[in-house]
Amino acid sequence: MSSQVTGRSSSTGGTVKDQEIATEQRYVDLAYARLEEMRADAQAMLREGYRQSLAGTKGSLVDRDAMVHQAALRAQALDVADDGLVFGRLDLATREIRYVGRIGVRTRDHDSLVIDWRAPAAEDFYRATPEDPRGVVRRRVLHSRGHTVVDLEDDLLDPAAAQEMTVVGDGAFLASLARTREGAMRDIVATIQREQDEVIRAPAEGTVLVRGAPGTGKTAVALHRVAYLLFRHRRRFGSRGVLVVGPNRRFTAYIERVLPSLGEGSATLRSLGDLVDGATASVHDSPRLARLKGAETMAAVLRRAVTDHAPGAPNELRVVFKGVVVALDRARLDRIRGEVHRRSRGAVNAARGRAADALLDALWERFNDLGGPEAAEAAEGAEAGLWNAILAADGLASIDDEPGHPNGNGDGSAGKRAQFDARVREQRAFTDFLVAWWPLRRPLDVLRSLGDPNRLRHAAGRDLDRVDLTPLAASWAGDAPLSYQDVALLDEIDALLGAPPRPSRRRAPAEGDPFVVDGVNILTGEEVADETWEPEMQELTTSMERLERSRRVDDGVVDERPEYAHIVVDEAQDLSPMQWRMLGRRGRQASWTIVEDPAQSAWEDLDAARRAMEAALGGEQPATRGRSRRGKPRRKAPPRRARHEYELTTNYRNSTEIAAVSARVLAVALPEARPARAVRTSGIEPVVRVVPEAGLAAAARASVEELLGQVDGTIGLIVPMALEEDGQLTLDGPAAPESTAWDAAARERLGAGLPERVQVLDVLEAKGLEFDAAVIVAPETVADQSPRGLRVLYVAVSRATQRLTVLTSDPAWQRTLTT
């Protein structure tokens, strides 16, 4: 017979639970003692690594690098185990006992003391249920503070096999869900539920698509999956890297501690606003601008923008050969430009050499039209002084054609052509023209150039409506802040521009190269060293450094864009097609974990986003179809990958009372959707108050002050987006001069003097976050701000774990939320 005990006294002193805790403490002490030994071993390995480097050979440096890296990883993994090393115990029907913990611990004789939670032998800890006990009789969760076991909770899975086994517990799991939120997400290793574990351990290949309502643990599960993949497939995912992408910087700050707490510091965590090096988003676009910028048609607009002539590009080319002025006008130049773009298929910056050749062809043709070599001979006899005067008046920098010039003796037509090319290339008029007419462009310059409504109109073709041009151009003009959608556009432009053909190291100068102007090769943008140039010794790089190398869009083009072996996309329902394209470029060979809740989507055209997602996951990217970014034939598009779909159904965040309010919003936003099942009842009803519009801010302040006395943890004060008069931008940087009700200045006033645990944020910034208490201001405004406003509101009301207050100036909303 087993017994369920919660603190009952035993005949031998102390409660049964105390005795059980003492037993477990002895085992935990044993595990920590062994951990100390492992730590000493890791330190010894580190010292040995450094000793190797004293040998001084290149090979020894490589060994040192590898050894030090390994030892550092090991030491890091051991450190994370310092808190709550052992958190689970399984008693099996075979009488075997298994302990589960943050990392695997073995005795010196290789007997298992603690099984890593990610190892196959730990799977039963998460998967066993009373319906399917998988040989487990009792599952025990140990709650520790540091090295000390403070509580236990048992699940009896197979009562028939339990015999005299003691079972203690008082719902510590549910209690742990109600714990205070301190502002950063925590790991859930000890309490992962079966449906969550299935996602975490899903196959590493292909795409894992996870859906679930707010609070079902999608983010938590995705992060634990990363730790699992890195543990089980370290070689594959550790070397090429894992990228985790979240919606905004607040969100990445919120989740950034989870992976390190699981001992995994190697994954790259980025928000959609800082995925591209050198470009950082500081604003969200209004729904209208986001729709325009995020749509796939923007790819065509940008393609035209990069192939259009650059701002300030000259309209005429004039050179002199043997006294004959040869000129190309704007119409001819535009035709040449179009032809070069067609032939170079996209890699714009790399095509400058081809552009130079095409100009020379056209000049030669023109020169022949003017009479060719005969005309030159006639001109040669003319008065040099007269020519100089005329040509100087034309502003040509270099016109001379001295008899006896080394290039002046070509014969035969090929020789004449070679002579022509050589003489024209030498002229500053030609090289200066080339630099201005086909500049090596930077993504940010191209985007800014679209701040000119005329250029935007030209690039827009028929892909944008006239009425949209003005707000779009205004959002890119001057030094307007970059938005989250803009970052994806910069990446698109970068892909279109491509890298100029540059070697990885500085080359020695080629003597007399006419394309070297002021120490720079104007065809490639490459710096050419002076005569003192010597090849440098290369410093060894670690795999982490290599992983971190990436392109920067602000300072021209450097290095390759990083590609990852696995990409996790959180809040995927909000990605625009252009953002999917940006991610697709980073995961052409990757497997993916995609986490989403379509009911929370602020994005209007979900079908278009879905198509773009499919293209990113395995299809081809239309902008670079058939060719790689460097113009070489592309590898075949990867085959469509296996897809594994999962749904999470239990809401671990909200109390049942708060979940009821969010279910009411969902019923209006998306009547056919099913809310998740909340499991924790708090007995605290949400508050919905009607307040006159002018008093909303004051009421919000008062509500927060009241809540400060009611909860110990974080409070979110969630306000509508701040749309400017023309509905454009919502700033999360400094206040814009003419912005309205909920702008940054208003939010700053709302938060003034409040403790740090209170965050004032708009509904978009609240995505993915959670608070002990939330105050939602003006649901009616949120609902009206965009066609997806109701879904955005659904996000807002599902943020709180314990207390929810809604302030509305519309009595109809009070009825909707309470009945």
What DSSP designation does 238 have?
I
> Which CB atom, from 80 or from 177, has the smaller least distance to ligand ATP?
177
Give the span between the Cα atoms of 25 and 86, in whole angstroms.
Answer: 10
Is residue 453 a contact partner of residue 470, using CB atoms and an 8 Å limit? yes
760: tokens are 């004032």
> Which CB atom, from 2 or from 219, has the smaller least distance to ligand ATP?
219
> Which CB atom, from 196 or from 808, has the smaller least distance to ligand ATP?
196
The answer to whether residue 246 forms part of the interface with ligand ATP (CB under 6 A) is: no
> Which CB atom, from 328 or from 567, has the smaller least distance to ligand ATP?
567
Q: Which of 166, 219, 449, 808 binds ligand ATP (CB under 6 A)?
A: 219
461 belongs to an annotated ligand binding site: no
Site string for ligand ATP, 554-593 (x = CB under 6 A): ----------------------------------------
808 belongs to an annotated ligand binding site: no
Q: Alpha helices of 372-481 — where are they, by DSSP H?
A: 372-380, 384-393, 413-426, 428-437, 443-449, 453-460, 466-476
Phi, psi for 193 (deg, rounded to 5): -95, 160
Q: Going by DSSP bridges, is the β-strand pair 715-719/771-777 parallel, antiparallel, or unpaired?
A: parallel
Residue nearest to ligand ATP (CB): 217
Q: Which of residues 798-817 bind ligand ATP (CB under 6 A)?
A: 798
Distance of CA 160 to the CA centre of its chain: 51
Q: Which of 49, 84, 215, 443 binds ligand ATP (CB under 6 A)?
A: 215
470 belongs to an annotated ligand binding site: no
Site string for ligand ATP, 184-203 (x = CB under 6 A): -x--x--xxx--x-------
Give the span between the Cα atoms of 628 and 126, in whole angstroms.
Answer: 45
Return the SS3 of 387: helix
Tokens 């086909």 belong to: 438
216 belongs to an annotated ligand binding site: yes
Widest CA span in the chain: 125
- Amino acid letter for position 401: D
The footprint of ligand ATP on this chain (CB under 6 A) covers a number of residues equal to 22
Cβ 162 to ligand ATP, closest distance in Å? 25
The answer to whether residue 652 forms part of the interface with ligand ATP (CB under 6 A) is: yes
Is residue 554 a contact partner of residue 278, using CB atoms and an 8 Å limit? yes
Measured N-to-C along each axis, helices 428-437 and 352-369 cross at an angle, to the nearest 10 degrees, of 130
Q: Which of 115, 137, 199, 220 binds ligand ATP (CB under 6 A)?
A: 220
DSSP 524-565: TTEE---TT--PPPPPP--HHHHHH---BSTTS--SPPP--S
CA atoms within 13 A on the CB side of 509: 17
First to last CA, the chain: 48
Phi, psi for 116 (deg, rounded to 5): -60, 135
Q: Which of residues 758-787 bind ligand ATP (CB under 6 A)?
A: 768, 770
213 belongs to an annotated ligand binding site: yes
Cβ 44 to ligand ATP, closest distance in Å? 37
Cβ 256 to ligand ATP, closest distance in Å? 14
Site string for ligand ATP, 158-177 (x = CB under 6 A): ------------------xx
The answer to whether residue 212 forms part of the interface with ligand ATP (CB under 6 A) is: yes
Q: Which of 214, 263, 716, 789 binds ligand ATP (CB under 6 A)?
A: 214
Is residue 289 a contact partner of residue 488, using CB atoms and an 8 Å limit? no
Is residue 403 a contact partner of residue 397, using CB atoms and an 8 Å limit? no
> Which CB atom, from 447 or from 659, has the smaller least distance to ligand ATP?
659
Q: Stretches 68-76, 207-215, 297-305, 342-350: which one binds ligand ATP (CB under 6 A)?
A: 207-215
> Which CB atom, from 154 or from 597, has the smaller least distance to ligand ATP?
597
Give the span between the Cα atoms of 233 and 235, in whole angstroms.
Answer: 6
Cβ 789 to ligand ATP, closest distance in Å? 17
The answer to whether residue 252 forms part of the interface with ligand ATP (CB under 6 A) is: no
> Which CB atom, from 177 or from 497, has the smaller least distance to ligand ATP?
177
Binding site for ligand ATP (CB under 6 A): 176-177, 185, 188, 191-193, 196, 212, 214-220, 597, 652-653, 768, 770, 798
Question: Which residues are part of a known binding site for ATP?
Answer: 212-219
